[in-house]
Amino acid sequence: MASVLLVEDDASLREVLAMFLRKQGHEVAVASSFEEGLSLVNDASFDLVLTDLKLGQKSGLDILSHVKREQPETEVIVITAYSTVETAIEAMKGGAFDYVGKPFKLEEIAVTIEKALEKRALSLENITLRRALLERYRFDQIIGKTPKMQQIFETIARVAPTKTSVLITGESGTGKELVARAIHFNSARKTGPFVVVNCAAIPDTLMESELFGHVKGAFTGAHTSKRGLLETANGGTVFLDEIGELSLAMQVKLLRFLQEHTIRAVGSTKEVKVDVRVVAATNKDLVEAVRAQRFREDLFYRLNVVHINMPPLRERREDIPYLASHFLEKFRKELSKDVRGFAPDVMERLMSWNYKGNVRELENIIEHAVTFATGPLVTMDALPEHLKGEKASPLSAIDQVTKVEKDGVDMESVLAEVERRLLVNALSQAKGVKKDAAALLNISFRSFRYKLAKYGLAPTPTSEELEQDE
Ligand X SMILES: Nc1ncnc2c1ncn2[C@@H]1O[C@H](COP(=O)(O)OP(=O)(O)OP(=O)(O)O)[C@@H](O)[C@H]1O
What residues make contact with Mg ion under the rule CB under 5 A? Answer: 177
Q: Does 184 bind ligand X (CB under 6 A)?
A: no
CB of 116 to ligand X, least distance (A): 32
CB of 178 to ligand X, least distance (A): 4
Q: Does 236 bind ligand X (CB under 6 A)?
A: no
Q: Does 130 bind ligand X (CB under 6 A)?
A: no
Q: Is the dihedral of CA 49, 50, 56, 59 positive or negative?
A: positive
If contact means CB under 5 to 8 A according to the sort of partner, which of Mg ion, ligand X, none does residue 244 touch? none
Amino acid (1-letter code) at residue 312: P
Q: Does 363 bind ligand X (CB under 6 A)?
A: yes
**171, 180, 179: which is closest to 314 by C-alpha?**
171
Q: Does 213 bind ligand X (CB under 6 A)?
A: no
How many angstroms separate the CA atoms of 285 and 308, rounded? 13
Give the residue nearest to ligand X (CB): 175
How many angstroms separate the CA atoms of 138 and 146, rounded? 11
Residue 238, phi-psi category: left (phi > 0), alpha (psi -120 to 50), beta (remainder): beta
Of 169 and 209, which has the nearer Cβ to ligand X? 169
CB of 176 to Mg ion, least distance (A): 5
Contacts with 238 (C-beta within 8 Å, 6 or more apart), sequence order: 195, 196, 197, 229, 230, 276, 277, 278, 279
CB 185 within 8 A of CB 140: yes
CB of 29 to ligand X, least distance (A): 42
Q: Does 152 bind ligand X (CB under 6 A)?
A: no
- As beta bridge partners, residue 428 has none
Of 112 and 304, which has the nearer Cβ to ligand X? 304
Q: Which of 176, 184, 302, 449 binds ligand X (CB under 6 A)?
A: 176
* CA distances in angstroms from 175 to 139, 180, 241, 392, listed in the order given: 12, 9, 12, 24
CB of 438 to Mg ion, least distance (A): 44
Q: Is the dihedral of CA 288, 289, 293, 298 positive or negative?
A: negative
Q: Does 237 bind ligand X (CB under 6 A)?
A: no
Residue 318 carries which DSSP code?
G
Q: Does 144 bind ligand X (CB under 6 A)?
A: yes
Q: Does 37 bind ligand X (CB under 6 A)?
A: no
Q: Does 321 bind ligand X (CB under 6 A)?
A: no
Of 77 and 310, which has the nearer Cβ to Mg ion? 310
Q: Which of 36, 62, 140, 177 binds ligand X (CB under 6 A)?
A: 177
How many angstroms separate the CA atoms of 69 and 336, rounded? 17
Q: Does 65 bind ligand X (CB under 6 A)?
A: no
- As beta bridge partners, residue 52 has 79
Q: Which parts of this chain interact with ligand X (CB under 6 A)?
A: 141-144, 170, 172-178, 283, 323, 326, 359-360, 363
